[in-house]
Amino acid sequence: MQDSNPLGALFKSSIFGKITPVNNGNNVPTISLQHSLQQQSKSVKTNKSKPTIYVPSSRNERPLYAVYPNINNEAFTATMNCFRVFVAKLNDYRRDENILIDNYNEEVKKIELNSNQITLKKLFIKKHKTLCATQYNKEVAAFFDTHKFKLPKKKLHIVKYQTELVFQQFLHEYATQLKENTKVFKQLGIEEKRPLKQLEINSFKIVSLQRNGVKSIDVSKETIKNHRRHLVEAGVLFDYTFCGHKRGVKCHINSEILTVLDLKTQQLTTIENQLVKERTAKNFGNNKEVTVTELKNNNIKENVENISLGKGTASPDNSFVFYGNTNSQDEKKQTGAAAKNVKLSESLLKLIENEYDLCNNLAAGKYNNYKPIDIRALYQESLNGTTTREQFKELVIQDFFKNAARLYRNSTPYFGSWLKAYLSWMQRKFLVNGNLYRKDLMVEKLQEFRWRLNHATKWFQAKGVRPLFPNQYFDFTRTTSKEIGFEFTKNAYTRSQNSLTNKAKQENKMLADAKKRKERINHAKKFDLAFKRFTNNRATLNDTLDYIKNNLPENFRDKFSERLIEYSTKK
């Protein structure tokens, strides 16, 4: 039996890649870590220069190193104090620079430009207006070297107090992320110093933070993004990486500002008490945050450029020909629809009979094989017809009694029996607090009556029982099963509706269970793939933990630790 390696031995310097020297351009020797994955990937683009306005060095452009990093109250306070000192010095520098920029812009205003220079100026502003002030001013200087005339510069942004409040929320979120990350590393028994994981900034999560049931900072997501850009420009945040619109961005906090507590040594870790350590060299394929608006604008521009007045395209001068008759066409459609509704109303009104004629025809058996009015026609009339509510009520009740005549194919109810039942329904149905139902509600109620009538017909045929005369059968007081009245069929209708509702609930439950089952299978596949990428040295431990945190349920974090411990004993 082979001796099992301790779990912490899996995570030596090899997990962070091969260590090689890097020249950072400042004649300061630094160390870089190049991961084997970068050598395998050929499609990864090189990272562009970051728009910083501070002087990068081996001190502030590398993350801190710790075994078990944590941000307690003491580290939090120290970080905020360093932030305020850093921002105060930066604002003093920018105020002095803004004075020079104001003087420069005053000189530029006195310069008269010719037409070609004005065109170049407009094109330059259109191309570079989205850049931050520092990058924009650099482009202005490069433009002067090329075209030999000056353009106005942007004033540098002064970091406001509100940005400090936003940074405080970032730091609180970072403390939570480090705590979760450190918990996993402790479970795995890793005791090697490593660079701190990047801060993940999700603007939606930041604005959702609460303290004592109240929002910690009551601002919008766009406000958070604006302050985040100011912090990146100021050099408070670096190694900025855009991870998608849902996940937000990743970045490091300037090492001259950040202070953490190493739970392994129980000492505060700052830039001052660390030797020059390794710096992780990374290539990011996409380090520019592209908004949906920008994409739409680009598509619009491409479409406009591709449009030509070739064959089959109307010229602007004749565009009115295509739209001149739009109003008249709409009026014709509306007129035609109104005429159709009037025609339907007239045809339905013709079906209404005098109550005596109706009851005589019912007694004579004229409607024993009656075909009810199409429910769609009644719905259309209820919404767009011209009949009054009283007329529509009479139409609906007469249609119901004509349909009920099939119950009496084998009997001969008298005229008076039909008349009593009809008058009783006309007096009591479709009324609430003395007011008539809306016409569409009458149609819905008629559908219920038709279902109950079909149910009663089947019941009488199955039992071989003849129904009572109409004045008795449609009596509103016959509500029990022994009385054999139409009102009791309401119980059967209610049971039927409940059955349909329960059936729909069961189907929804089956679909929900199937969805959860498929999600569990999918999550298990994702977890296995993530674990395989890590064991094959295609992803770092921090990247793997971030992937599990952002894409899998919470229980997979503990499962990852258990799987890793099991893997180490077998290796």
Could you give the angle at the alpha carbon of 115 between the alpha carbons of 111 and 118, nearest 5°?
Answer: 60
The confidence band for 569, taking pLDDT boundaries of 50, 70 and 90, is confident
CA–CA dist 224, 163 (Å, integer): 9
Provide mean pLDDT across the span 467-486: 92
Cβ-in-10-Å burial (0-12, 13-18, 19+) of 168 comes to middle
Q: Which two tokens stand for residue 399?
A: 């249609």
Q: Phi and psi of 214, rounded to 5°?
A: -125, 145
Extended beta strands in 86-233, E state: 194-195, 199-201, 210-211, 214-215
Cα 158 to Cα 82, 254, 277: the distances in Å are 17, 18, 32
- pTM value? 0.50
Whether 348 shows a pLDDT value over 60: the answer reads yes
5-54 pLDDT tens trace:
444 444 444 443 443 444 444 443 333 333 333 333 334 344 444 444 44
Instruction: Tell me if 445 sits within 8 A of 490, measured CB to CB.
Output: no
97-152 pLDDT tens trace:
999 999 999 999 988 889 998 999 899 999 998 888 888 999 999 998 988 888 99
39-97 pLDDT tens trace:
333 343 444 444 444 455 545 567 888 999 999 999 999 999 999 999 999 999 999 99
Whether 245 shows a pLDDT value over 90: the answer reads no
Whether 221 shows a pLDDT value over 70: the answer reads yes
